Amino acid sequence: MTAIPMQRQGRGRALAILWGALKIVATAAVTFLGLLFVTFVIGRLVPVDPVLAVVGDRATASTYDRVFKELGLDQPIWVQFWLYLTDVFRGDFGESFLTKRPILQDIGRVFPATLELATTGVIIGTVLGIPLGVLAAVRQGGLTDQVVRVIGLVGYSAPIFWLALLGLLLFYARLGWVAGPGRVDIAYEYDFTVRTGILLLDTALQGRWAAFGNVFSHLILPGSLLGYFSMAYISRMTRSFMLGELAQEYVIAARVKGVPEWRIIWVHALKNAAVPLITVVVLSYMHLLEGSVLTETVFAWPGLGMYLTNSLQNADMNAVLGCTLLIGTCFVGLNMLSDLLYRLLDPRVRRRG
């Protein structure tokens, strides 16, 4: 008699999971189409003539008219958007006016550098920010709390380019503790084969430890700078979440039962605070991926931010739109991942979904 209700319950859970997956896919599809439309509109509203960017200022009128038609600019706006949409779904983002290469090829070359830098920053920010936030919550109102809050305040208010220049002047020019701008010295540039584009991984897998040390020396200063800004955000949010958890009744009950204080803080309270913290870490990672433009410019880091800056300065709108679409796609993907992890770790969200 109990087998049939259990089977129905199992089918109900499967249908709920399937429905949730369909909703996520539908949301992602609608968001992606909206992102495509926004990037298309940006490309049409920017006061830059794409034809002049291709042919130059000294082109004849006949050449201008020919390229104007080749780019489809003589078509109605909805036809232009449809052509743009079909090209994107075929994986064709156009060709860069600067490099004369396909946009996807250029992005595939520069994006791993940004990915390596942002990943280093979020790892540093998470490893340092969560413990500091926990200590600030435990010592609320004390010296530790005040120090952590001041560190976070500086991280929010200080201009990143100023800290980058200061770091280069102190740790590179004066002390010589780290390497300078760029990703690797020219002496090591041909000592290994670039396969993934993430140089720390490439040099380690090939056993080129001297090159690995040089790459790490170039990475540690900009990575630590981004990590500091990530740490400021993560530590503040961790402190807020922990203060809420430490005021819960289960903490009081655990103390009455004689549970060690370190276990209450680092196991019970932090475990419950970890659920919203995942969203905070993912959001921090998003901002590092799209917000490292100034850092890459100061450190001559050949990543997506520097590529986007050069494209904007030279009115290379195909490259600008391709980078914008990639950044938006990363935001959508990471946001979906955050939502999925939130649902997996918090059963209350699964029941509501």
Average pLDDT across the chain, whole number: 82
Q: What is the pLDDT of residues 61-108, one digit of tens each?
A: 777 778 777 777 777 778 878 887 888 888 778 788 778 888 888 998
pLDDT of residue 216: 94
d(CA 353, CA 3): 26
Residues contacting residue 112 through CB under 8 Å, at least 6 positions apart:
196, 197, 198
Which residue do the tokens 């931010």 mark? 305
Q: Residue 99 carries which DSSP code?
A: T
Confidence of residue 2 (pLDDT cuts 50, 70, 90): low
pLDDT of residue 113: 92
Asked whether the beta carbons of 110 and 307 are under 8 A apart, the reply is: yes
CA distances 263 to 35, 256, 269, Å, are 46, 13, 9
d(CA 75, CA 256): 75
What are the structural domains, with CATH classification, of the chain?
12-89 (no CATH), 107-352 (1.10.3720.10)
pLDDT of residue 128: 93
pLDDT of residue 144: 87
Residue 102: φ, ψ to 5°: -60, 145
- 103-138 vs 317-345: helix crossing angle, rounded to 10: 40
Q: What is the pLDDT of residues 147-185, one digit of tens each?
A: 988 888 888 788 888 888 898 999 998 888 888 888 999
pLDDT of residue 1: 45
Q: What is the pLDDT of residues 266-284, one digit of tens each?
A: 888 888 888 888 888 988 8
Q: What is the pLDDT of residues 221-263, one digit of tens each?
A: 999 999 998 999 999 999 999 998 888 888 888 888 888 888 8
Q: What is the pLDDT of residues 20-57, one digit of tens each?
A: 667 767 777 787 788 778 777 777 776 666 777 666 66
Exposed, middle or buried by CB within 10 Å (0-12, 13-18, 19+), for 257? exposed
